[in-house]
Structure 1
Amino acid sequence: MKSRNLAESSELLRMALPLMAKHVIPVTPKNYAVWYEYVSGDNVELQEKVQNIIKENSKIQENEVLDVYNEFLDDSVELSKAEKAQKELLKITSGVSEVLKNAFTDIEKYEKSLEKYNNQISEDIEVKQLKSLVNELTESTHTMNEHNKELLKEIEGHQKESEKLKVEMESVKREARTDSLTSIANRKAFFDYINCMEESGKLAEGQHCIFLLDIDKFKEVNDTYGHIFGDQVIKSVAVVLSKNTKGKDFPARLGGDEFAVFLPDTSLEGAVAVAESIRSALSKAKIVKSKTNEVVKNIHISVGVANYIQGEEIESSLSRADELLYKAKQNGRNKVEF
């Protein structure tokens, strides 16, 4: 990785972050190292590899990014590219340290000058010499003051740069956890939430439930009205999910027309009631086609609700919810099974 100054590193960071957000790639050292190298243009083969993957699949997955890292950047002898990328980011803080170091050096020089003047003034001197010393002291004070002003400007510049990068990093993390079509949580955010519950010990406390749902005959909706309208239907489901879940409830789009909701501290009876309110609200909804103003009714969902059993893997709860969702389909759709 080519050594760059602070401004160049910051600019490459600003170029890399939006691309990572676009492809929903988490901001980790290895992932960042790949995208940093990609936007820098230093590694042509890496750049072509990434472009070919995107061209073929329209998106690049995190596992593919890691494959690119292993192929082009992994180096067991030298410092890894990921660590070098982190070093580039640390230039912002090291830049501030350098400014402060120089400032302390200037202060030490100024202090020595004052000591010299003090020693000279302690001796018997003529008025002419005293005037000369005062002039020198005034000049030194002015120089020190100018240095302090420059120091303040540099520190403020570094601070603004750091704040800007912090905001961008937070934005990327947020976008990486948000479904781009519906603006609710995505699959990664859903499982991260459950993992946090488990790590904090909250999953082992109280009653929890989970339910899966998808849109009945969604393929027919797409075939009849088109994919743009299909996206509109998916957005409508997300809106209804958000309106009918509260507090710590965590709705998410897992992909396609499939959604999930995790309900902490909720009994099976309570979870069924929430699922039923969502199903009922959607069955009564009227979705208007934006181009023709045609009103489309009868958008139904099927839901499978399962309670979380203490000590089991969350995948087991999801599996039972999925089986119940399939049962709802088998029993005529537009139903909640539990």
Structure 2
Amino acid sequence: MILRYPQSKEQTAELLRVVLARMGQHDAAFNPLTYTVWFEYAAGMNAQLNQALDQLVQAHIRLTDADLRDLYQAHIADVDPQAMHRIGTELQQVMATLAGAAGSTGSNADQFGVQLGTLAVGLQVLNNKLTAPMILQALESTALMRDSAQALESEIKFSQSEIGRLQSELTRVRDESRIDALTQVLNRKGFDEKLASMLARPAPEGRLHGLIMFDIDYFKKVNDTHGHVMGDRVLQALGEVLKSCIPPHSSASVARYGGEEFAMLVPATTPDECHKLAELVRTRTKALKVRDRRTQAVVLTVTISGGMALHQAGEDAHSLTVRADAALYRSKQVGRDHITCV
């Protein structure tokens, strides 16, 4: 994997000072997206972005949220949301530090103001015409400093809240992009990520990671005979069946692999456990009855075929998927409504 942001802690600290100064010169909010645009600009890692930004800056344009969003979409849109989340977290930590400094400044200003006020009263009693006005001027300056610090602290706290909201939104969008809208199980992208994550963690001693591929038997006939609306209902029903078969507290997950093909990822399992799970899905699917919503009459029943493969040492995700898919194909060849293990 190519690391998008390879800079060291020291380098990013230096870039941070430049980025915050740039952000302060424009109207856009202090949020992860804005920070990312200015970070890549300051780091000189995105020539097209730098050229576009230079043109805007040289035209003395104060950049807005919309401007920064357009620049992000045009020049950085392929960045992983997880990188955005990390940047947002780092920016939020900076905001917290600044908020603490602002709060400390405000507190010190209040304390200094009290001391000056006491001194001014004492001097006025002594009728010191030379010193008292100077102290009163210092009091006014202290009050201004305190008000500025409080305003800064308030603005930073608001920015922190906004960053938190944006991080939540990024997480929600990222999660939604991995869910199949029809069946509400993982889509192909979500499957690929889950499979890679599963294989990246070694299974405990005596256990193996498992993959089961399922395919609805004669699904084309369902669509041709009953229409695509009924076909969608069958897909939704199978998604529910698959989820219902996952044991409590299990880390297994379900995905729609494509069309009428589904997959179940079963981490740290045994051949017997994995086969029993596949058979449970098959028998529950066979018992499924799709009914007419008006008459409640049974319209059709459904069967599935399955192929199961257990991860072998050194095997990559593609090879495991190919073996599970080949096992599924063999189940189709022997008459369907069957589970084949390899």
Q: Same fold (TM over 0.5)?
A: yes
Task: Determine helix, strand or coil for the equivalent of 2:183.
Answer: coil
* Equivalent residues, number: 285
- Which residue, out of 248, 251, 276, partners 2:251? 248
- Aligned pair 1:170/2:171, yes or no? yes
Taking the aligned partners of 2:277 and 2:98, their CA distance within structure 1 comes to 58
Distance in 2 between the 1:136 and 1:317 partners? 78
**Partner of residue 36, structure 1:** none
The Cα shift of 1:168 comes to 0.3
2:338 corresponds in structure 1 to: 335
Match of 2:28 in 1: 6
| 3-state SS of 1:253 partner | strand
CA displacement at 1:276 relative to structure 2: 1.0
Instruction: Work out whether 1:260 is the aligned partner of 2:263.
Output: yes
Counterpart secondary structure, 1:264: strand
- 2:221 is matched with which residue? 220
Contact 1:185/1:252 (<8 A) preserved: yes
Identity over the aligned pairs, expressed in percent? 27
Deviations 1:211-237 (A, max 9, x none): 111101111111111112111111111
Counterparts of 1:61-72 in structure 2, within 5 Å, are: none
Deviations 1:103-148 (A, max 9, x none): 78888888887898899899x8753449956866765565455334
How far did residue 187 of structure 1 move?
1.9
Q: Offset of 1:264 from its aligned partner? A: 2.0
What do residues 154-194 of structure 1 show as CA deviations (whole Å, max 9, x unaligned)?
Answer: 12311221111011011011112212211112222222222
Task: Deviation per CA, 1:19-39: give whole Å up to 9, x if none.
Answer: xxxxxxxxxx99xx9xxxxx9
- Quick one: distance in 2 between partners of 1:165 and 1:152? 20
Contact residue 103 and residue 150 of structure 2 kept, 8 A: no
1:265 alignment partner, SS class:
strand
Once the two structures are overlaid, the 10-residue window that deviates more, 94-103 or 266-275, is 94-103
Alignment partner of 2:179: what SS? coil
Which of 298, 319, 325 is matched with 1:322 structurally? Answer: 325
Q: Structure 1 stretch 181-190 or stretch 236-245: which is displaced more? A: 181-190
Equivalent position SS for 1:297: strand
The gaps in structure 1 that reach 5 residues or longer are 14-28, 34-38, 47-68, 75-79
Relative to the length of structure 1, the TM-score reads 0.65
Corresponding residue of 1:26: none
Question: 1 CA distance for matches of 2:124 and 2:147?
Answer: 30
Q: Which residue of 1 is the match for residue 181 of structure 2?
A: 180
Cα pair 2:278 2:339 within 8 Å, conserved: yes
C-alpha contact (below 8 Å) 1:114/1:137 kept by paired residues:
no
Between the aligned partners of 2:68 and 2:109, the Cα distance in structure 1 is 43
In 2, are the aligned partners of 1:6 and 1:92 still within 8 Å (CA)? Answer: no
Contact residue 110 and residue 144 of structure 1 kept, 8 A: no
Partner of 1:21: none
Contact preservation (8 Å) 2:254, 2:264:
yes
Question: 145-154 or 199-208: which moved more?
Answer: 199-208
Report the Cα distance in structure 2 between the residues aligned to 1:163 and 1:8, rounded to whole angstroms: 12
Partner secondary structure for residue 213 of structure 1 = strand
RMSD: 4.8
Partner of 2:235: 234
Check the 8 A contact 1:288/1:296 in 2, yes or no: yes
CA distance in 1, matches of 2:158, 2:69: 31
Task: Indicate how the Cα distance of structure 1 residues 266 and 92 shifts in structure 2: closer, same or farther if over 3 A, else same.
Answer: closer
Give the one of 304, 315, 319 matched to 1:312: 315
How far apart, in 1, do the equivalents of 2:234 and 2:338 lie? 18
- Deviations 1:61-118 (CA, angstroms, capped at 9, x unpaired): xxxxxxxx9xx749xxxxx9979x97x9798888888888877888888888789889
- List 4+ stretches of structure 1 deviating above 6 A: 8-13, 41-44, 80-83, 88-122
User: Contact 1:177 / 1:189 at 8 angstroms: preserved in 2?
Assistant: yes
Residue deviations 1:278-336, cap 9 Å, x none?
A: 11111111122446644223211011122222222232232222122112112221111
Residue 270 (structure 1) aligned with residue 273 (structure 2): yes
Give distance in 2, aligned partners of 1:208 and 1:103: 52
With the length of structure 2 as denominator, give the TM-score of the two structures.
0.64
Q: Distance in 1 between matches of 2:279 and 2:185?
A: 20
Sort the Cα spacing of 1:164 and 1:269 in 2 relative to 1 into closer, same or farther, 3 A. Answer: same
| C-alpha distance in 2 between matches for 1:256 and 1:223 | 15
Alpha-carbon distance between aligned partners in 2 of 1:266 and 1:151, rounded to the nearest angstrom? 55
What are the within-5 Å matches in structure 2 for residues 1-338 of structure 1? 5-7=27-29, 73=75, 126-129=125-128, 139=140, 142-202=143-203, 206-246=207-247, 247-290=250-293, 293-338=296-341
Distance in 1 of aligned mates of 2:32 and 2:172: 16
Aligned pair in 2 of structure 1 residues 110, 270: CA closer, same or farther (>3 Å)?
closer
Return the letter of the residue paired with 1:186: N
Letter in 2 for 1:127: L
